[in-house]
Structure 1
Amino acid sequence: MQPYQGRAGCTPRAPAGTSPAAFGCRREEPSRHVRPVPLPATRQNLNYAYPPIFWVDGCADAGAPCAPAPPVAPFPPPVPDRRKKPGSRTERRSVGFLVMFLLILVAFTGVGLSMYQIFHLEKELDELRESASAEHIPPALEKLIGQKQQSLRKEARKGAHLTGNPAQQDLPLEWEPISGHAYTSGIQYRDRGLVINDTGLYFVYSNILFRGSACDSQLLSHVVYKRNPASPGSLVLMEDKAINYCTGQRMWARNSYLGALFKLRKRDSLHVNVSKIALVNFEESKTFFGLFKL
């Protein structure tokens, strides 16, 4: 009989004088081999070093089956950069500017569309008016309306404004009908007066500035009168007289203004008289004469 060898990897140990079969065998604990786990190639060149990680090989020898290697612990993720916080003030301001720009753009677009629609509607309305007037107004009535409008425009333009003319030596006063502020429209200037061509209501006005280097207390008079070939003589329309208007031997000036509404007939002519031509200041802004039809 061969001596008892025990199970593989077991060595019987029994006290002297005792049969090995009476005792179990103790398994020889294999020696543990510690092997370092190599780091991945992507981590070996980092400036900071991770602590080495080891795992224990439980195999006693090369012939024995080995336990599976424990999983390698994953490396920690890189530390995020905390200098830039998401949703910073600059980003919020940019978003606010963008929203404001879009709102302004929408507002201008709405205004432009509204103006275009208004212009289009006005154009259509004008076309409708033209078509309606062409279809419903008879030619005779249209001609009558045109003549009436033309006569109204002519009546509205009837008026005259004359300015002082220093190149004169007798009465009534002579005026400037063309140059400067002077004009005549629908009214004739003839024989130093304004001639009425159409009967109606007229507002007549006249302004005279008297001035002198010394006060002699003589009477100042300013008269507007009319004539008509159908009636002899003249008729005073407005008159202004002044006495005691200056004192002492000093320069003086006095303004005389006349203005009123009159019903004038066709062929009436209006004129202006003063007490003394030498005392009249003939500047166009100080001495003038005119009328206009209402």
Structure 2
Amino acid sequence: KPAAHLEGIIENQKLVWLSDINHAFLKDGMKLENSKLVVPSHSLYFIYSQVVFKGQGCNGSCSLSYSIYRFSNHYPVEKILLSSSKTACDGSVQHTKPWMQPIYQGAIFMLDEGDILLTEMYPMSDQDIETSDGNTYLGAFTL
């Protein structure tokens, strides 16, 4: 059965998905092209992902968002499959301590052969995403 588990690293202020580090893998036709996951066949897929945002200090609320998109030959634009937002800190409390906030998403979708999964997040800089082992990942498998 097709399956993939990718781990993220930061390169040039972009989150890049890799299939050849730590516990990451591609199986039975899943492909990774330009940091985008390509599904091999029409099927139900469970798609899951986590991004851990990090920062230093809070002066008001910092908004964090993470989305997974589907690009398909069946329609001309990318469509959001999963999207989530949260604030990094309680806006009423100001401090200088480090913080971390995970965003996890997962759901079942019917995908077609050749569909492409891609991700987008905000904010994004070298320091914004925790990429140590197992913190930031993207995966999909057929049901």
Provide the TM-score with structure 2 as the length reference: 0.88
Please tell me whether the aligned partners of residues 168 and 174 of structure 1 are also in contact (alpha carbons under 8 angstroms).
no
The separation in 2 between residues aligned to 1:236 and 1:284, in whole angstroms, is 27
Within 1, Cα distance between the matches of 2:138 and 2:24?
9
Q: Distance in 2 between matches of 1:168 and 1:202?
A: 31
State the alpha-carbon separation in 2 of the partners of residues 161 and 229 from structure 1. 24
For the residue of structure 2 that corresponds to 1:214, the secondary structure is strand
Greater RCO between the two (CA within 8 Å, min separation 6)?
A: 2
Aligned CA-pair RMSD: 1.5
Cα shift readout 1:243-271 (whole Å, capped 9, x = no counterpart): 26343222211111000000001111001
Gaps of 5+ in 2: none
Counterpart of 1:237 (choices 81, 89, 110) is 81
User: Which residue of structure 1 aligns with residue 135 of structure 2?
Assistant: 286
User: Letter of the aligned partner of 1:164 in structure 2?
Assistant: G
Please list, as runs of the form range in 1=range in 2, the aligned pairs for 1:117-136 lying within 5 A after superposition: none
Aligned to 1:180: 22
Aligned: 1:272 with 2:131: no
Residue aligned with 1:256, SS: strand
5+ residue gaps, structure 1: 1-155
1:260 is aligned, of 91, 96, 107, to: 107
Find the partner of 1:220 among 64, 67, 73.
Answer: 64
From 49, 53, 78, the counterpart of 1:210: 53
- Alpha-carbon distance in structure 1 between the residues aligned to 2:36 and 2:88: 31
Mapped partners of 1:215, 1:194: distance in 2: 34
Q: Is the 8 A contact 1:164 1:284 kept in 2?
A: no
Tell me the percent identity.
28
Q: Indicate whether 1:248 and 2:91 are aligned.
A: no
Query: Does the 8 Å CA contact 2:88/2:99 hold for their aligned counterparts?
Result: no
Q: Are the aligned partners of 1:201 and 1:264 in contact in 2 as well (CA < 8 Å)? A: yes
Higher share of residues assigned strand? 2
Deviation at 1:230, TM superposition (A): 4.0
Q: Given that residues 62 and 89 in structure 2 are in contact (C-alpha distance below 8 angstroms), is that contact kept between their aligned partners in structure 1?
A: no
Note closer, same or farther for the CA distance 1:168–1:291 as it changes in structure 2 (3 Å cut).
Answer: farther
Q: Give the whole-Å Cα distance in 1 for the aligned partners of 2:10 and 2:80.
A: 24
Partner in structure 1 of residue 36 of structure 2: 193
Q: Give the distance between the partners of 1:265 and 1:193, measured in 2 at CA.
A: 15
Partner of 1:58: none
Mapped contact 1:204–1:259 kept (Cα < 8 A)? yes
Distance in 1 of aligned mates of 2:3 and 2:81: 18
State how many pairs are aligned. 136
Q: Take 1:231 and 1:244, find their aligned partners in 2: how far apart are those partners?
A: 35
Tell me by how many angstroms 1:192 deviates. 1.3
In proportion to residue count, which structure has more helix?
Answer: 1
Partner residue, 1:160: 4
Change (3 A) 1:273 1:227: same
CA distance in 2, matches of 1:160, 1:284: 16
Distance 1:252 1:188, change over 3 A: same
Amino acid at match of 2:77: G
> Are 1:223 and 1:240, in contact at CA under 8 Å, matched by a contact in 2?
yes
